């Protein structure tokens, strides 16, 4: 009897401690927008069903003095792809819009930042050096937290295409577009984002992502056919700067992705960017906060030697600074290309550091905690 009680007490203590650790991930990081911020909204402003839930997320609006087009930047669609939301955070804390309008949703699937994917061994947080010391950020999951949407069906039937995907993809925001007002939790978030695009008459969507270094679509801009010209000019400009980028057309028979569905179901030009993130790859070695930040991994270096990676992967790895810098520069070039093709709808902004500046100093040095 005493032995059972001791075991029960030990188990209860383990549950209590680990439960506390898991709960700690529900706390959003504080962001410090620039004075250029004109409005701080919530996604539920566009679809009230989300109000107050984990799916409700902040929308930052930056308006220039002059009228122009509207660009929407999505970070944190997949929250195990940290460069996606850190690039969005960096823009929020540095942006100065002169013309047109920039909308930023840094945590598109906010629920996915509140947990880690079981079996992946990811750290809960990682730290980045800033001018004010170390700043901590959460590492999340590719999927919506099961606390918000559970159980998964065995097969996820995408709406409206009826395409079949594995059940876990029912919690993958980038397989749920254009979403459904009466659908699952994740489909409602996708629907709300599509509503935001329609109601705000967004012209250009830039969905920021990362992928494992062995993934075929990497260091790339993926574009809906209507956004192809814009993406092509941006890729040429990025290549001209010496950055490796490829241009990938959005597959017409693979549904649920932002570049396919937002392009088909809204008037926006839909694009998506990918950088190479070793911490989400299947070939990676030890999984810790160091891997997330430094991007160094000896297993991927071995994989590159047998040509199993789609990007060069040396001992120096692919650090978070470079991945964030690519997203910032890619965003800048997509907007410039959009401006060149859409006279009268230009969007002009400054403040954001250049690729070279971020690589030299680290993106953390440009974040503004004192605002």
Partner 1 sequence: MSEGLILAAMVAALSISVFFVKLPTGIALLVSAMIGAFVAGEGIPLRHLAEGSMMYLDPMLIVLTSLFFMAVFERSGALSSLNVWMLRKFSSRPFILVSLLTLFVMLPGMFTGLTAPCVLTTGAIAAPVLLAAGTPRAVAGAFIASGAFWGMAAPPVNICAMLIGAGVDMPYIGFDLPLLATTVPLALLSGHLLVGKYFRGLKTENVCELIESKESGGALLYLPFLVVMSLMLGERFLPQYVPHLGIPLIFVIAAVLSLFTGARVKIKEAADWSVKSAMPILALLAGIGMFIQILTLTGARGFIVIELLELSEWQRYVGIAILVQLFGGVSAYGSSVVLGVPILLSMLGQNNVIVASALSIIASLGDFMPPTRLAVVLAGPVVGEESSAAILRKSLWPIVLGLACGIGMLIYANEIGKLFGLN
Q: Which residues bind partner 1 (CB under 8 A)?
A: 14-15, 17-19, 21-22, 116, 118-121, 124, 146, 151-155, 157, 163-167, 169, 214-217, 251, 253-255, 282-288, 297, 299, 302-303, 306, 308
Cα separation, 317 vs 44, whole angstroms? 39
Residue 24 or 241 with smaller CB distance to partner 1: 24
The two structure tokens encoding residue 142:
């590719």
Cα separation, 205 vs 105, whole angstroms? 11
What is the three-class DSSP state of 28? coil
Residue 126 or 233 with smaller CB distance to partner 1: 126
Residue 228 or 299 with smaller CB distance to partner 1: 299
Residue 247 or 308 with smaller CB distance to partner 1: 308
Evaluate the CA torsion angle 361, 365, 367, 371 in order and state its sign: negative
Residue 124's contacts (CB-CB under 8 Å, 6 or more residues apart) are 21, 24, 25, 116, 138, 139
- The answer to whether the beta carbons of residues 261 and 176 sit under 8 Å apart is no
Distance of closest approach, residue 133 Cβ to partner 1, in angstroms? 25
Cα separation, 190 vs 200, whole angstroms? 15
Compute CA distances 176 → 41, 109, 145, 261, 336, whole Å: 23, 11, 15, 9, 29
Residue 196 or 222 with smaller CB distance to partner 1: 222
Residue 57 or 116 with smaller CB distance to partner 1: 116
Distance of closest approach, residue 94 Cβ to partner 1, in angstroms? 32
Cα separation, 311 vs 246, whole angstroms? 11
**Pairing relation of β-strands 133-138 and 96-105?**
unpaired
Distance of closest approach, residue 169 Cβ to partner 1, in angstroms? 6
Residue 194 or 218 with smaller CB distance to partner 1: 218
Residue 169 or 203 with smaller CB distance to partner 1: 169
Residue 63's contacts (CB-CB under 8 Å, 6 or more residues apart) are 38, 39, 97, 100, 101
**Pairing relation of β-strands 66-74 and 204-211?**
parallel
Distance of closest approach, residue 73 Cβ to partner 1, in angstroms? 22
Distance of closest approach, residue 248 Cβ to partner 1, in angstroms? 10
Distance of closest approach, residue 28 Cβ to partner 1, in angstroms? 20
Cα separation, 280 vs 287, whole angstroms? 9
Distance of closest approach, residue 273 Cβ to partner 1, in angstroms? 15
Residue carrying structure tokens 């989300």 = 50
Distance of closest approach, residue 78 Cβ to partner 1, in angstroms? 13
The two structure tokens encoding residue 259:
């570049």
């Amino acid at each position: 009897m005493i032995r059972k009680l001791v075991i029960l007490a030990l188990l209860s203590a383990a549950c209590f401690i680990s439960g506390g650790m898991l709960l700690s991930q529900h706390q959003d990081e504080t962001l410090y927008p620039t004075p250029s911020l004109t409005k701080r909204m919530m996604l539920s402003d566009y679809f009230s069903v989300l109000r107050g839930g984990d799916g409700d997320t902040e929308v930052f609006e930056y308006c220039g003095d002059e009228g122009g087009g509207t660009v929407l930047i999505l970070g944190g669609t997949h929250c195990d792809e940290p460069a996606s939301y850190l690039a969005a955070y960096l823009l929020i804390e540095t942006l100065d819009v002169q013309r047109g309008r920039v909308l930023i949703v840094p945590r598109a699937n906010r629920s996915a930042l509140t947990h880690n994917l079981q079996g992946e061994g990811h750290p809960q947080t990682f730290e980045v050096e800033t001018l004010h010391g170390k700043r901590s950020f959460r590492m999340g999951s590719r999927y919506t937290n099961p606390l918000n949407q559970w159980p998964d069906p065995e097969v996820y039937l995408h709406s409206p295409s009826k395409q079949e995907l594995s059940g876990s993809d029912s919690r993958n925001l980038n397989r749920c577009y254009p979403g459904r007002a009466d659908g699952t939790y994740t489909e409602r978030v996708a629907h709300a984002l599509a509503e935001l695009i329609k109601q705000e008459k967004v012209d250009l969507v830039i969905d920021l992502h990362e992928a494992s270094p062995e993934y075929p679509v990497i260091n790339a801009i993926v574009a809906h056919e209507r956004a192809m010209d814009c993406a092509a000019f941006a890729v040429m400009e990025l290549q001209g700067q010496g950055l490796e980028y490829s241009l990938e057309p959005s597959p017409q028979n693979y549904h649920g992705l932002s570049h396919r569905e937002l392009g088909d179901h809204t008037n926006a030009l839909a694009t998506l960017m990918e950088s190479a993130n070793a911490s989400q790859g299947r070939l990676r070695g030890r999984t810790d906060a160091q891997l997330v930040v430094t991007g160094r991994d000896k297993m991927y270096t071995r994989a590159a030697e047998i040509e199993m990676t789609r990007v060069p992967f040396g001992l120096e790895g692919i650090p978070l600074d470079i991945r964030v810098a690519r997203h910032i520069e890619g965003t800048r070039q997509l907007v410039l290309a959009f401006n060149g093709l859409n006279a009268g709808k230009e969007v002009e902004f400054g403040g954001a550091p250049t690729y070279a500046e971020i690589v030299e100093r680290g993106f953390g040095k440009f974040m503004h905690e004192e605002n």
